[in-house]
Amino acid sequence: MEIVHLTAAQMGRLLRAGELTSEQISRAFLDRIAATNPAINAFISVAAERAIDRAKEFDRTRESSSRLSASSSSSFSRLCAGFRSR
């Protein structure tokens, strides 16, 4: 399935499994915004550069933290591990 049609929970699981990166997800949505926003005007402003910078930062943090430890017990952490920076 295309990235933009995944649910956030599915994205979280794929991020955690290392099958997706925050950067890939952010770029997919930024491309989608560029293609569709002129028709619907849902966004007033888009912070594309900053979003990509933050995504890269989260990817780096996730990579280093997954090397250190992969375990976390609460259901929220399990679902969101992909989104969390710490």
Partner 1 sequence: MKDVLVSTDGPTTCASKMLERFVSPYNSGVVERLEQAGMVTLGKTNMDEFAMGGSTENSAFGVTKNPWDVTRTPGGSSGGSAACLAAAQAPLSIGTDTGGSIRQPAAFCGVCGLKPTYGRVSRYGLVAFASSLDQVGPMGHTVEDLAMLLQAIAGHDPRDSTSIPDPVPDYLEGLDAGCAGLRIGVIRDHLENEGLDDEIRQSILKTIEVYREAGARIVDVTLPNTRYSIPTYYIIAPSEASSNLSRYSGAHYGYRAAPNKALAKESSALIDMYCAAARKDSAMKSNAESCSVPTPSAPAITMPIISRLSRCDDSFVTTMTRPSSKPM
CA angle 71, 50, 82 (to 5 degrees): 15
Let me know: does 15 contact 83? Beta carbons within 8 Å: yes
- Using the minimum distance from each CB to partner 1, give the nearer residue, 2 or 71: 2
Q: How far is the CB of 60 from partner 1 (least distance, A)?
A: 11
Nearest-angstrom CA–CA distance, 59 and 67: 12
Cα–Cα nearest to 58, from 66, 46, 70? 66
Residues 11-40 that bind partner 1 (CB under 8 A): 11-12, 22, 25-26, 29-30, 32-34, 36-40
Binding site residues, partner 1, CB under 8 A: 4-9, 11-12, 22, 25-26, 29-30, 32-34, 36-48, 50-51, 54-55, 58, 61-62, 74-76, 79-80, 82-86
